[in-house]
Each structure stands twice: as structure tokens, then as C-alpha cells.
Structure 1
Amino acid sequence: MHEDARLAALRGFGVLDTPPEAAFDRITGLLADVLDVPISLLTLVDAERIWFKSVVGIAEREVDRAPGFCDTAIRMTGAYVIEDALTAPRARRNPLVTGELGVRFYAGAPLRTSDGYTIGMLAALDLRPRRLEARELRVLEQLADVAMEHLQLRREVRQAAASKEAVERAYLKLSEGFEETVQQRTAELAHQAQHDHLTGLPNRVLLEERLERALASATRHGRALAVLFVDLDGFKHVNDTFGHTAGDHLLQQVASRLLASLRSSDTLARVSGDEFVVLIPEVKRPDDARDVALALLAGLGEPFSARGHDVTLTASVGVSVFPKDGPDAAAMQRHADAAMYAAKDAGRNRVCFYRGAHEAALFEEEP
């Protein structure tokens, strides 16, 4: 790394020691929300210090460069992740780790100029060890790209304007347009973080958010709700026979058919390869959940198409009903999952209701 050239590139942006700016604060705020971390930083690595252009979660505006996380990170070719700082020899000497804050996790994506110099990092920090999913890493990298685009545009405005008044006019115009761009990219990234890339359905993150809200509403108004776990029967055989590309196409068809059996107020989420979860936010009686479950199975009744062949798919459905089957989201999902496995054990292609941990004979009904 040519440090003198890197520092010259950094200072060419004219951003060190400038006041906070809404566009950068929006990026760090979104990063903290999407990755569910208490601290997020947009850092610029100067000669002797790491300065924070935008920060969420701590009061500091800069730290010494060594032994800072970002000092190590800028030497990497891509993102830099420390799952547990106490097990990383250099990181565990960092004052953010050894001090009162007690940082344990760091993930940073580089702010890289068009000529290849890394001038800083967009970073997420947590107070507990954790792993970063591939989806979360993509969000971090894309937000870093958004931040770098704004830094570059900001520099172009400074270079193009010949007077303070011209700078202010041009920057105001740029900021208005960039705010709109940031809002659009923010919405896109938030959607990616909460939806399954293959089917477009809500993923587990969004499902649990909606389930928590539905449980709070049901408790407040004295209503019942239902959670249905839907697991395709023998789907591995489909992948082994026709290949994963055909299997992905079938999952998209399955998602469409399941959606067609639900109301707009219901949520259908894909939570793993061939497993879907349905949230019915209001049921007046258990038969309502049974009727929905049977409709889902009936919707899968017609053959699917895979590489010109007809493929018959069935599913096993487990149902839990709030409040009798669990007081919270974790219990409702766990008990619907248990009922789904009971449906598998009973012969598949059927619906089972949860009836308690020690009751072997769950209610079951075939379509």
C-alpha cells in the first residue's frame, strides 16, 4: 500500500473534520438497523488517527489509528470481519475492546476510490461475538458503495465550483438529488434484507417482525392467530432428479400457488430451502386455520412442470394457534414446527395441529 498516495487521495476529498451530513448519517443509521448492531461508523483513516464522518452508538469522533480495526481493514482487498475480537491477536488490544465499551464484533467494507485507494471503512460493531450472513455482508458492501459515490460527487462539486457561493448552490442542488438517490437505494437495500431473493417472499427476518406485531395486537384485542409451517415432501428427490435450477423454478411456482390460497392480510415467508411459514393474524376459531391449511395443500394438487415433465408435489403442514399453543413468537414457531414433523411421521401430505409437548396423538387431516 502506497501510504503517501493514499493519504493524498483522502485529503483530496476535503472531508476531514467537516460537520455531520444527513446523507452519511442516513447510511450509518440504516446499517445499524438492518444488521441489528448498536454501533455503526463511517470512518476515514488519516495519518495518525481514524476520524468518524458519521457515527451511531458512541460519542467519540475519532480514535488513534493504531491498533484500530480500520487501520488493519484498509490493508485488506475486500471486506474485513472479526467475529470475536478477543480471539484476534491485534484486535484484542484495541481500546474499544479493552475499554468500558467492550466491543467484540467488527465488520467493515472499504471506501475505495476510483484509482484503488482505500480511504476509510463503513463498519458495523457489536458488543457480542456473532457471524455475518452473506446477505448481511452484501448489504454492508452496497451501503459502502453508496457512501463512496457521495464522497466522489461531493469532491467533484468542490473542484468544479470557483466561488463559495457557487459551491453552496451546486452542493445544495447535488444534495437534493442525492438525498432522493439515497432514499431509493435505502428502500432497495431494506427490501433485499427482508425478502427471499429467489421467490421475492418475506424471509425469516420480516416474518418474525410481523409475527411480533401480530402477537402484540392479538394480545391487546383478545384475538387468536395461527402459525402454519409448510414443508414440501421429498423435495430433495426433485433436486437430485432434475437439478437445482429446475428445483429453484419449482419453488417459485410453489410460492405462487401458496400465495393464491391466502388473503392479502396473511404473510407467506420462505424460511429455508423447501420450508415456508404462513402467519394468519386473526382466526375466529381453529377451523379457520384448518381451512387455510387444507386450501394450501389443495393448491399444490395440480402437477408442476420441470424440464418438460409433470412433477407431483405434496406438503406436510403443522399448525399452532395463539394463545393456547404458546405465549410468544419463539414458542409459536417451535410448536408449529413440531406439528409439521408429526404430519411427516403420520404419512405426509396432511395437516397436524399442535396439542402439547407430551401428547403423541396430534390432530391430523388429509386433504
Structure 2
Amino acid sequence: MVRMTSQERDRHVDLVEQACHQLRAAVGAERVSIWVLDDHGRAISPLVSVGPSAPASNVARRWSRYPLEHIGPFRDAVSTRAPVLLRDLAAADVPPGLGEDFAITSAWTTALEVGGEVLGVVVVEPGDAGERVDGSPWIDALARSLSAARGWYLADRRKAELDLLLDLTRAASATDDDGGAIAHLCQRLAASLGVRRACLFVIDDGALVSAEAHFADGRRDPELIRAFLTESVLPALLTEAARLWHTVVINQGARDSLGDWADRFEIGSGVAVPIGTRAEPLGVFTLDDAEERRFGPRLVSLAEAAATQFALLYERARLLDEQARTARAGEAVRRLLREGTRAVTAEAAVEVVARVGLEALEAEHATALLFDGDGTIEDVHTVGIPAPFDEEVRRRCLGLRVGDLALGRTVRERRRPVAVDDARNSGMLPAELFDGIPARSYVAIPLSAGETLRGGVIYSTSTRRRRWSEADRHLVEQLVLECDLIMENAVLREAEAGRSEQLAHLAMHDVLTGLPNRVLLEDRLDAALRAAARTGTRVGVLFVDLRRFKDVNDRFGHDAGDAALAQLAARFVDLVRPNDTVGRLAGDEFLVVLPDVCAEALAGVAERICVAADEPVEVGGHHLRVGASVGAAIGGPGTPPDELIRAADGAMYVVKRQTGTGWGVADELAGSAGSPGAG
């Protein structure tokens, strides 16, 4: 899996800080801060602050992933895409403590966006300094620098959730007995989230009772645990979380909410998260600490991400204890966890479940099904079904909708396994589905990732009709829990891999045009020159500077300028060969790298680009002519890449001074500009 290195992350943050410093100096501000959007635009977090009074790191963590709707100025700036001026923060719609924590009195804020997507907001203090920002090019520079920094920020947040869930999965498999498994799970949850203690309360005969408590450092105070487990009256915080099925957070005033629990168990702050489902609640787990204001939005969000996983893991531990006498169950669980941790896609996860579950249940065949978002079977994997029946199973299953089958509807609605003794006469699947396919009994299990049903596995027998025993059913239930974990983790890894690929693409391409950026251009040029050294060919470079682009921005705005850039970029790409590279250096400057090219061909491309740049672009109903100054340079084996670019740049400036538009060529390998060509 490709991940951004810490050095690359630091470089992106440095770029954001540099842009903030430049803006601060340009408008004479005391402080410039960047807040970044996440959670699909629902939350906002402080990222960078430059100035003499930058907030402490613990203050930034406290406000991490704060709900956007609760910070009125940020919400208004994002929704209207217009600046918001705060002359008196005390009278503004902001949460208590924000002004004090960040020492803000007045401020000016506006949204930062790239390609129509809002990435965050910039805050300039004091407010009158911010009024001088409007229309400043530094805002665009800030938005561009934030684009890459925000990418790793969101990837890191998702990685934190994935790491926590994987850590809990490993913790649950560290021991086989009920009490030991639950205790270890609580300890790992507390340690992973960096709090003092985790406790578990379960619903027994409709009432919430204490079940387990464990400190992050591994200790279990016997007297404290005894008092905890024998307590008959629980605080309202717990019953509220279970009754209303929502997370309850106490960051200060714990004694007012918990009564003498706060004193007896030394609780200064805490969070209670319900586990299970609203229809089938399991209980509540709590995290607490002796300090106040410890449970910020980021930590609460991680706790909620762990809640579903925690419920599955708790149930797994309970069933493990009940099935301790069955070596087959224990071995299947270990193998599923061991092999399932290597599954990085949903397809790989169902294959592991099918293969390992088949042996655990002592069935003869397994058919693994993967569903698309509409509940249609999009992939089928079989284990143990001989040819040609395996292809026949695939043919009959592919394209079926889960909701059209009684078995599919039952599994989807109950999210529980279905055991069928008589396959043909049960009515759960169409009888014709079994024509020519040997299957007499089967058990079907769902494969879920969170709340989404992603697939299922049918384990079947054909040589005999099997009556599924209680022990079989218990084992199947256990397999479902493990399989859900495997599928959930595989989907998380798959999403993380996709995000990493997207970040890698963004690091090498211009966000607006999609063209290679300077980093990738220099890499392509270096590769072309190395190839030229082997083949004795020559490499050409065109430096393109748009002539009247500033007029477009000034008359029609930056959106119009962006649209014009995108149109011209597409034209330039159409003019070159597939192995040539058109990239955007910055602003209105483009670079074209042409491997294995002669002087005549290079001149031809330069001429075509000049013509294309002079043709009108349509922006908002207006037809605008931009034009370009183009400098050409050609080199061969031994030519340094930077010398070739400088030569083309110099030729472009000669054109710019002498004729304004058109193209010119530099002396080969010399780095000096030649005479302009006809434009």
C-alpha cells in the first residue's frame, strides 16, 4: 500500500505555512490561520497558524474535527463562498471558549477552494487586516497549497480509524477465554485511544449491568473492580446512552453528571458509546480520564468508529467461551483471522471466508458471492465444486438480484445465517437453480462491511442431506462475526489504497487541468534525455506563456481564467504525440517535452500551439482570444535538463519582447535564444 512519507507531509505543511507567511506580510496581519474541512464537509479542524501567538498543540487537538455548523462564521463563509468579517467575536455565533482558546478578538475569514471544491477557510486577524485581502492572489496560493496538505490529513485520519479497528481485532484474538478476551479488549481500546480506562456495561434481562473495566497500562485494581462490578445503581449518563442510543460526552463538571461515581472512580471527563444495534442493543462502553476536557471530537469519532467493531468482538469472545470444547471452531477462528488480515480487497476477503469456512464446517462446496451497490451479484467464487458445475454455478448466479430471492431477502433483513436441511424443497432458492448442480443441504452467511451487505457465502453438501446441529449453528454464528471483521477490514484497506493512489496522482498532476505538474515534467524530461543518450536522438522542449491571460482574469474573474486554462490545456494535448508530455508549470505557463524529435518537427509543434492559443476560447458566453509566446529548444545526449528549459524560456522571452506572440527557437545546446518565428 502506497503511503506518503512523513517528510512529504512536512513539506506540504511547510508550503501552507509559507503561503500564510506571505499573506500575513502582504496585508500586515497579526496572525493568519488555516482550518481544514473533513467528514465530507461536516467538520473543521485547525491545521496551521502563523504569527506571534499561535495556539498550543493541545488547543488545536481540542478543536479538531469540530462540527462546522456550530462555528457560524466558518459555516457562512463555506456556504456563501463569500468573506465574513467579525468585528466583535464575543457577539458572533461561535462556541464558548473558541475566542479564549485562540485569543481572537476580531477576524476576517473566507473559504479556500480549488476546482469548485471548498477545502477549508483562512482566518486573518485582526479583521481590518483581512479587509485588505479581498482579491489578493495569495488566497489562490493558499488554496493550492492546502489542496495537497488536506489530502494527507484526511488519509491520516482514515488510517487512524483503520489502525484502531485492526488493533482491536488483534486484541480480541489474543486470548480464548471470555473474561480474558473482554478485559484485554478494554485494555487495548483504552491504550489505543490514549485514555486512562475503558469499561463495559452489558444489557442483561433488559437492564444495564457492569461487566468489565480495565486500565490502559494493564493494571486491574481488585478493590476498584469489585466496587465497579457490584454497583447496582448506574449513573444517568450510561442509561441515557443506552436508552436514547447516542453518544454522551462529559468534558467538565463530571460530578454534576455522575454524582459520587466521579469521586469514587476518579472520573474528570468521559464518553459513553452504545454498542450493538438499536434493534439488538448489546450495551455501552465508556472511556474515562481523570483530567477535564480530554474528549475532543477526534477522539469521540474514533470511539464511535470502534463501537460496531467492539460489539462484534465482544460477541465473538462470548461465543468462543461457549465453544471452547470444540477445537474445530477455535482453529477456524484463528485461521480466518490469520489469513483474513492479508485480504486487501472485498474479493480477497470472500475467497478467504469461503475456503477456510468450508473446512471449519466440514462442508463439501462453497460459493462466495459479491454484491454491487444495488444488491446484484457481480462476482462468484467457488471452492470444491468440480468442473463443469463451477462454471454453471457462475452463469446462473451472476446478475441475480439478492432481493429477488427468498434466501437473499432473509439474509439481508436478518443479517444472520440461514441453515437449510433440504435445499430443493425449502423454497429459499428456486428449484431450477439446482438442476444439474449437486446440492442437498446448505447454510448461507452474510458478509457485511459496517451497515452494508457486501456479499455472502453458501456452504453446501451434495453427497448427503445434512441436518445442521446446534453446534453447527453456533459455529456458523461465530464465523459470521469473524467474516464481518475480515470484510470490514478488507473494505477499509481497499478504500485506503484507493485514496493513496489518488494522493499519489495529485502529487504529480495539476489540480485544475489534470496535466503533469513541474515535478512530473522534470522527471519526464530527465527520462527523455537519458533515452536520447542511449539512442543518439534529440529532445525538444517548448516553453509556452499565455499572452493575454491576465486580461481574462481581470475582466471576467478567476473562474473564467480557470475555464480558459482548461480549454487551452486540452487543445495543446491534442496537438502532440502520445509519448510527448504537455504539463503546467504554474499560472499561465506550460511546458511541452518532445522525445526523439528533429528541429523541423519541433518547429511544427510550436507553430500549431501558437495557432491553437490564438483561437477563441468560450467562457461564460464570451469568445476570448488569449494567444501565446512560445520558446523552443532542442538538445541531445549530455544536455542538462535545466539548461534545456532555460534555453526554451529565454527564447520565449525574446518572442515576448519583440512580437508578443509567435514562437522562437534557441540555439541548439547553447542556451541562447534565436530569432522569433512567424506567429
Q: State whether TM-score is above 0.5.
A: yes
Q: Does 1:246 align with 2:214?
A: no
Residue equivalent to 1:206: 520
How big is the shift at 1:344? 0.5
1:139 corresponding residue in structure 2: 151
Which residue does the alignment assign to 1:306? 619
Aligned: 1:268 with 2:280: no
Partner of 1:297: 610
Q: Residue type matched to 1:79 in 2?
A: L
Superposed CA RMSD: 3.7
Contact residue 635 and residue 669 of structure 2 kept, 8 A: no
1:278 aligns with 2:592: yes
SS in 2 for 1:313: coil
The unaligned stretches of length 5 or more in structure 2 are 12-43, 68-141, 167-305, 318-332, 334-477
The CA distance in 2 between the partners of 1:258 and 1:306, in whole Å, is 18
CA shift in 2, pair 1:110/1:196, >3 Å: farther
Q: CA deviation at 1:329?
A: 2.0
In structure 1, the partner of 2:504 is 190
Aligned to 2:46: 78
Q: Structure 1 residues 151 and 269 mapped into 2: Cα distance closer, same or farther (>3 Å)? A: same
- Could you tell me whether the CA contact under 8 Å between 1:109 and 1:140 is conserved in 2? no
User: Identity of aligned pairs, percent?
Assistant: 31
User: Contact 2:614–2:628 (CA<8 Å) still a contact in 1?
Assistant: no
Match of 1:344 in 2: 656
Deviation at 1:171, TM superposition (A): 3.6
Report the residue type matching 1:363 in the other structure: S
Instruction: Give, in whole Å, the separation in 1 of the partners of 2:493 and 2:552.
Output: 47
Query: C-alpha displacement at 1:261, in angstroms?
Result: 1.0
Report the Cα distance in structure 2 between the residues aligned to 1:322 and 1:255, rounded to whole angstroms.
25
- 1:361 is displaced (CA, Å) by 6.2
From the superposition, tell whether residues 206 and 81 of structure 1 become closer, same or farther in structure 2 (CA, over 3 Å): farther
CA distance, structure 2, for counterparts of residue 193 and residue 246 of structure 1:
25
Change (3 A) 1:81 1:110: farther
- Higher mean C-alpha displacement, 237-246 vs 151-160: 151-160
Counterpart-to-counterpart distance in 1, 2:602 and 2:491: 48
Shift of 1:168: 5.4
For 1:32, the equivalent position in structure 2 comes to 5
CA separation of 1:218 and 1:228: change in aligned 2, threshold 3 A: same
| Residue 242 (structure 1) shift | 1.8
Q: 1:333 to 1:366 in 2, by over 3 A?
A: same
CA distance in 2, matches of 1:332, 1:306: 34
Counterpart among 162, 178, 199 of residue 150 in structure 1: 162
Paired AA for residue 46 in structure 2: G
Displacement of 1:313: 2.1
Residue 177 of structure 1 deviates from its aligned partner by 2.2
* Aligned mates of 1:209, 1:279 — CA distance in 2: 10
Q: CA deviation at 1:328?
A: 2.1
TM-score (norm 2): 0.35
Which amino acid in the other structure matches residue 316 of structure 2?
Answer: S
Secondary structure of the corresponding residue to residue 510 of structure 2: coil
Query: In the aligned structure 2, how far is the partner of 1:360 from the partner of 1:333?
Result: 11
- Secondary structure, counterpart of 1:296 in structure 2: helix
- 2:646 match: 334
Between 1 and 2, higher relative CO (CA 8 Å, sep ≥ 6) is seen in 1
Structure 1, residues 7-32: CA drift from partner, whole Å, max 9, x if none?
xxxxxxxxxxxxxxxxxxx4xx5212
Which whole-Å CA distance do the structure 1 matches of 2:561 and 2:7 have between them?
Answer: 30
Query: Secondary structure at the residue paired with 1:30?
Result: coil
The amino acid that maps onto 1:344 is: K
Match of residue 123 from structure 1: none
Q: SS of the counterpart of 2:505?
A: helix
CA 1:220–1:281: 2 relative to 1, 3 Å: same
- CA distance in 2: counterparts of 1:277 and 1:333, whole angstroms: 9
C-alpha distance in structure 2 between counterparts of 1:160 and 1:309, whole Å: 60
Equivalent residue letter for 2:633: S
Tell me which amino acid in the other structure corresponds to 2:156.
A
Question: Do the aligned partners of residues 110 and 327 (structure 1) sit closer, same or farther apart at CA in structure 2, a change above 3 Å counting?
Answer: farther
**Superposition deviation, residue 221 in structure 1:** 2.0
* Equivalent residues of 2:644, 2:669 under 8 A apart: no
Q: TM-score, normalised by structure 1?
A: 0.62
Which structure 1 segments of 5+ residues have no match? Answer: 1-25, 39-75, 83-87, 92-107, 116-130
Partner of 1:287: 600
Of residues 172, 178, 188, the one that matches 2:492 is: 178
Q: CA deviation at 1:192?
A: 1.6
* Contact 2:542–2:632 (8 Å) recurs in 1: yes
1:163 is matched with which residue? 316
Q: CA deviation at 1:341?
A: 0.8
Query: How far does residue 218 in structure 1 lie from its aligned partner after superposition?
Result: 1.7
Contact 1:109–1:141 under 8 Å retained in 2: no
